[in-house]
Amino acid sequence: MIMTPTFVTFSRNVFIPLTNICRNRCGYCGFRRDIGHPEARLLTPSEVADILDRGVQAGCSEALFTFGEHAEEVEGFIPLLNELGYHSIIDYLADMCRLSIQKGLLPHSNPGTLEKDELEKLRSCNASMGLMLETTGIIEAHNGCAGKTPEARLKTIRTAGQLRIPFTTGILVGIGENPSDRVRSIQMIREIHEEFGHIQEVIIQNFIPKPGTGMSSYPPPDMKTMKETVSLARRLLPEDVAVQVSPNLISPGELLKCGASDLGGISPETIDYINPESAWPTLMELRAMAGAQLKERLPIYPHYVKKEWYSTEIAHLLRSLSDTEGFRKIY
């Protein structure tokens, strides 16, 4: 029988949407914007610096960098990048990660599918990285999305393992997959982790319909489906892999009883740009939702801190932020 954990982990972060230009056109995504759209953006270094400063003032430990995948493939994006003095979004991301380290926040990047050389470039300036597998199923919502083929995403996750990058992945529930797809997706994550040992958490995230998207009228998964999926993940995944749920998207209490033990990154300063309609809970609200003791962690999980799965580039900052057990130091 799965019991509610004695403590539940979370991190405090700032959300940095470096760009919302993306080559993919997922049927459920409300984040992506076309070049020329008034909300299309490529953040400047000064805008990134401002977010980082606010994060430091708010007591955060993590800078969560996220953006559209392979934006250079979108016509009109390269000139925007060139204006900032860059030819590669990965090079720009790496420099912004280093700015984050200088400011005092540990970077965690979610740049989409990457090749080995790109992962190697980002490894030294990130405490951890991530890529949602989403599903191994072939679904209508991913039609025409080069980066959403299961093979491409699994390849990136495996390559991160070869490079010993502490890694976050997960599945989206309710985007057109079936129960067998969910089983297969979690099994594939488990198999990769058993080979490389780098998966620190698996997010079980519920689909939320977004206005103006192809799936705006689709129903979100019900609580029964989410409880079954969290229970499935906890049964299939090794004990050292945390199961995470998102408390701004779903009430986590029942899911913690099903085996979830982590509530992800909570931002006191920035919205969830992927799900802007879903506000972050305050720490007081989070504590009430969890019904258990909260324990703050860093973007790199404690056992990877102890194993020293981090680069010399972030070592000083990491040691200043972590306690003897690898959790966030309490000042």
pLDDT at res. 331: 72
* Both structure tokens of 232: 């499935």
- Render 278-331 in DSSP notation, one character per residue: SPPPPHHHHHHHHTSEEEE--SS-HHHHHTT-S-HHHHHHHHHHB-TTSSBPP-
pTM over 0.75? The answer is yes
Domains and CATH numbers, the chain: 7-321 (3.20.20.70)
pLDDT at res. 292: 86
**What is the pairing mode between strands 242-244 and 106-110?**
unpaired
pLDDT at res. 6: 80
pLDDT at res. 182: 98
Q: What is the dihedral of CA 146, 147, 151, 156, to 10 degrees?
A: 150
pLDDT at res. 241: 98
State the Cα angle at 43 between 40 and 47, rounded to 5°: 135
Angle between helix 179-196 and helix 150-162 axes, rounded to 10 deg: 20
User: Residue 129, exposed/middle/buried by CB under 10 A (0-12, 13-18, 19+)?
Assistant: buried
User: Could you read off the pLDDT tens digit of each residue along the chain, which spans 331 residues?
Assistant: 565 668 999 999 999 999 999 999 999 999 999 999 999 999 999 999 999 999 999 999 999 999 899 999 999 999 999 999 999 999 999 999 999 999 999 999 999 999 999 999 999 999 999 999 999 999 999 998 999 999 999 999 999 999 999 999 999 999 999 999 999 999 999 999 999 999 999 999 999 999 999 999 999 999 999 999 999 999 999 999 999 999 999 999 999 999 999 999 999 999 999 999 999 999 899 999 888 899 999 999 999 999 999 999 999 999 999 999 999 998 7
